[in-house]
Amino acid sequence: MELRELVRDLYGVDRPQGCPEAEIAAVRERFGALPAAVEDFWRVFGHTKQLNRGQDTWVFPGRYAKWTWLTKYHDLVLLNENQGVFQACVRQEDLSLPDPPVYLQEGDSPLLLSAPTVSEFLEAALLYEAVFQLPYSPEDFFVFTEADLAVIRSKLTKRPALQKNWFVTETTFYSNRPDNLVVLMDMGDGDYQSLYGGATEESYAALTEVLEGLGEPL
């Protein structure tokens, strides 16, 4: 999906703010190389404040000049978990690739693959972070069973993006309008934790019509 459209529909941003070339060049000089997919993302969205109103924090180029804790990382950090427990990174040895894989780093633990390319990671992460700032949503997380999921799969459209190893093994995304979203987090035991919401009352109502009677508040 075109990221501009995703950000417009779910974040309400018609004109994203990119960061200047000087900021990108400073990070490139620090690492010696940057993937083209990362640079392109920063050029379009690197100063878009609305993207950091979700759960976690995008590490845009300006943060490298301000956050001293980033100096301990040899890999390029793209997204920082809200408590700083783990980060989404591009490995240093992959930085010369145009669209390399993205891994999750948690202390000294082995790296876990989040997405096979930066492009796929960006779409999935933007979807996941969007649900936390949608203005129309229930107050609770919900738990859905496999039976609930069968209804969701039959009545909503699955988005192609997939997020791996961010809190849970796998996270998938469903909608029935471009400006609403159901985030399903596979807990690995046949249950799915979920957040959902809409950018407008109408888009939220379109979701709740499908989800009514499904799941239990967590």
Distance (Å, rounded) from C-alpha 94 to C-alpha 102? 9
Q: What is the residue-wise DSSP string for 123-142?
A: HHHHHHHHTTT-SB--SS-E
Domain with residues 142-217, CATH architecture = 2-Layer Sandwich (3.30)
What pTM value is reported for the model?
Answer: 0.94
Task: Tell me the pLDDT tens digit for each residue of 137-161.
Answer: 998 899 998 899 999 999 999 999 9
Query: Tell me: domain 3-119, CATH 3.40.50.2300, correct?
Result: no
Please list the residue range(s) of the chain that carry CATH number 3.40.1580.10.
Answer: 3-119
Q: What band does 65 get if pLDDT is binned at 50, 70 and 90?
A: confident
Please list the residue range(s) of the chain that carry CATH number 3.30.160.
Answer: 142-217
Q: Where are the beta strands (DSSP E) in 4-128?
A: 57-58, 76-80, 87-90, 102-105, 112-115
> Which tokens sit at 60?
């845009």
With CA atoms as reference, report the closest residue to 16 among 56, 46, 61, 55: 46
Distance (Å, rounded) from C-alpha 3 to C-alpha 81? 21
Rg (CA), the chain: 18
Task: Kindly report the number of other CB atoms within 10 A of residue 203's CB atom.
Answer: 21
pLDDT at 1: 55
Task: Tell me the pLDDT tens digit for each residue of 12-49.
Answer: 999 999 999 999 999 999 999 999 999 999 999 999 99
Task: Tell me the pLDDT tens digit for each residue of 71-114.
Answer: 888 999 999 998 888 999 999 999 999 999 999 998 888 899 99
**Residues contacting residue 157 through CB under 8 Å, at least 6 positions apart:** 174, 175, 176
Q: Which helix (H) or strand (E) holds 185?
A: strand 180-186
